[in-house]
Each structure stands twice: as C-alpha cells, then as structure tokens.
C-alpha cells in the first residue's frame, strides 16, 4: 500500500463535476477551492483521492460515496469538514470517478476492503483519530468499513443514510421499479458469474431521479458519466444485496454512530434508515437535516450538518 501522485485528475481529465457547482450553496462549492489530488495504491487498485489538508488537525474524516457518486462530488462535504478544522479525504471507489481498478474490484466486498485499508493507512499516516463518513449508500458502507476493523480503529461513524439491503422495504426504495426489488436478489444469484462484469446503466436499475430535490442538480449529476450517469457492474449489485457484515448492529462496539438524515429525502426516507439505526447498540445520535434532500444542500439542514461536522472535533460522531 502506498501514496503517490494522481495519474488522472479532475483538474485536467474530467470536467462534468464543474457543471453542478453553480447550483450548490456557496458553502458547498469547491470550484476555485479545489482539494489536492493524489493516489493510493492497494493491490491492483489505484484509488484517486481528493484531500483537503489541514495541518495540526485534531482528526481526519474519510468520506465515502455511494452508487453514482465519486470523491469530487463529496468534496463539498469535505470542504465543510476543512472549514471546521478537520482534514478530509474523499476516495473514488472502483467503477466511479478516476480510480483505476480491475473489474474484479467492482464488487461491494472489495469496496469495504479497500475503504478499510485506506482508513488504516490514513490513521498510520497522521496518527490522528479517524472518523469514517458516508452519504447515500456510502453511509452503510461507512458502517460496514468500521465493522470490518478491530474495535478502536475508528473514532466514530457518520452517515446520511443507513440502508440495510436485507430489508425488503429498503430494496423497494432504492430500485427504479419496486417489482425489481422482489426478484433482483434471486435473479442476480442465479446469473452465471461470467456475467458479473457486465455493466448496465445505473439509471436503469436505480431511482436516480431522487438523488436531489432540485431538478437542475439532478440533471447535472445524471449527465456525469463517471458518477450518477455511469454504469454499474451486475457483480456489484449481487454482492451489495448479499453482503453480510461481520458484526450485527445489536453487538456494535466500534464507536459512536451519528445518523444525520435528510428530512425531505425523496429517494430513501428517514424511516428506512431508522429501522437499522434503532438496532445499533452503544452510543449513537440521530439528527434530522430539515428540508434536506437525498443530496443534503438545503437550509436549515445544511447548517445542522455543518454544526454536526464541527462537533466531531470535540466528540467524534456526536457520541
């Protein structure tokens, strides 16, 4: 595992992320205030990283995207962390953004493994407490990453959504057509493994129209062929729906959990995340981001989210 210069950059090789910038609140815009770009290699995968560096920061937060995102989109959250004095690292996970990885890493368990490896590398690099955060599908990914590591590795988990794919109600919400949720797990299990690398448009299987409550923002995100407008491997969908974490929420001992859920999420309503959150043992806190959409950018929820990020310095994950 090693760090190095980014082979491809958002500054030079991909422009679609710029389109959404004027549509975001001023506090979330990164155009003209871009993060540093670097790479982190683990095995055959070279993950592109965006980083807002903060010398002498009291903590580092690794921010994980979900399906249809990438690190540059979540650099908006990284900027909020940087402005609160926390160093923020936003990786592109395999299949999205500017990361180079073999098709075999376009699997959910590979996302967990690679993100966990990055968390450990960041902790060893800085010696700081490490918070793992995630938005959308990345929220549960953050929880799974922490669960895969020894107790004490992570100082806390922050999520905008906690989507348990074992829950039929969650499956029905995330897919484009509810009927697909009933047949997808069995159908994907039955597919020959040689089809795992076949990629289909994310918009064909996911309800991507709910990614934002602002139609202009949604259109800009769907136009990004390395993000929401990309294709997803059938093997990723299969392994995501079938993933079993090593720790049950009732046995959770891996640090405090903060669920900061958008209150007006048109894609995955708050009640779906609370079904899982309510099962988590140990210190936890729930905050509603009032009027916030799935991509939380509306006030007053945006201010709530900024305050919660600032609070990580004193009490990781709001515990």
What's the structural domain count of the chain?
1
Query: What count of other Cβ atoms lies within 10 Å of the Cβ of residue 182?
Result: 14
Spatial distance between the Cα atoms of 274 and 296, rounded to a whole number of angstroms: 17
Domain assignment present for 70:
yes
Cis peptide before 281 (omega within 30 of 0): no
- Which residues form the domain of 91? 2-312
Domain assignment present for 148:
yes
Tokens of 74: 């979540």
Whole-prediction pTM: 0.95
pLDDT classification of 184: cutoffs 50, 70, 90? confident
Domain assignment present for 317:
no
Specify the CATH number for the domain of residue 53.
3.40.50.1820
Under a CB-based contact definition with an 8 Å cutoff, are residues 37 and 11 in contact?
yes
For residue 319, the model assigns a pLDDT of 47
Domain assignment present for 319:
no
Each residue's pLDDT tens digit, 242-277: 999 999 999 999 999 999 999 999 999 999 999 999
For residue 285, the model assigns a pLDDT of 96
Domain assignment present for 318:
no
Q: Is 288 exposed, middle or buried (0-12, 13-18, 19+ CB in 10 A)?
A: middle
SS3 308: helix
Domain assignment present for 297:
yes
For residue 315, the model assigns a pLDDT of 60
Each residue's pLDDT tens digit, 115-148: 999 999 999 999 999 999 999 999 999 999 999 9
Spatial distance between the Cα atoms of 151 and 149, rounded to a whole number of angstroms: 6
Residue 161: DSSP 8-state: -
Region of 255 (left: φ > 0; alpha: ψ -120 to 50; beta: rest) is left
For residue 177, the model assigns a pLDDT of 78
Domain assignment present for 115:
yes
Each residue's pLDDT tens digit, 78-113: 999 999 999 999 999 999 999 999 999 999 999 999
Domain assignment present for 163:
yes
């Amino acid at each position: 595992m090693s760090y190095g210069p980014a082979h491809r950059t958002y500054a030079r090789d991909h422009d679609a992320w710029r389109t959404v910038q004027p549509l975001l609140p001023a506090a979330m815009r990164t155009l003209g205030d871009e993060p540093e770009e670097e790479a982190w290699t683990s095995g055959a995968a070279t993950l592109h990283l965006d980083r807002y560096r903060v010398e002498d920061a009291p903590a580092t937060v690794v921010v994980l995207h979900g399906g249809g995102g990438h690190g540059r989109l979540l650099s908006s959250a990284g900027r909020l962390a940087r402005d609160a004095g926390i160093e923020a690292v936003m990786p592109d996970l395999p299949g999205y953004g500017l990361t180079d990885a073999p098709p075999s890493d376009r699997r959910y368990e590979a996302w967990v493994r690679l993100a966990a490896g990055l968390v450990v590398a960041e902790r060893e690099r800085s010696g700081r407490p490490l918070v793992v955060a995630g938005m959308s599908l990345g929220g549960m990914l953050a929880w799974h990453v922490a669960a895969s590591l020894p107790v004490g590795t992570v100082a806390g988990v922050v999520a905008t959504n906690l989507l348990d794919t074992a829950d039929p109600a969650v499956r029905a919400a995330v897919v484009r057509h509810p009927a697909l949720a009933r047949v997808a797990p069995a159908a994907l299990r039955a597919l020959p493994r040689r089809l795992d690398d076949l990629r289909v448009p994310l918009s064909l299987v996911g309800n991507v129209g709910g990614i934002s409550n602002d139609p202009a923002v949604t259109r800009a995100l769907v136009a990004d062929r390395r993000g929401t407008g990309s294709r997803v491997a059938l093997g990723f969908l299969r392994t995501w729906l079938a993933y079993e974490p090593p720790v049950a929420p009732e046995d959770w001992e891996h640090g405090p959990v903060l669920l900061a859920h958008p209150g007006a999420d048109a894609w995955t309503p708050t009640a779906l995340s609370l079904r899982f959150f309510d099962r988590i043992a140990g210190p936890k806190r729930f905050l509603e981001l009032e009027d916030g959409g799935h991509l939380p950018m509306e006030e007053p929820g945006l201010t709530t989210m900024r305050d919660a990020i600032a609070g990580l310095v004193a009490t990781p994950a709001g515990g």
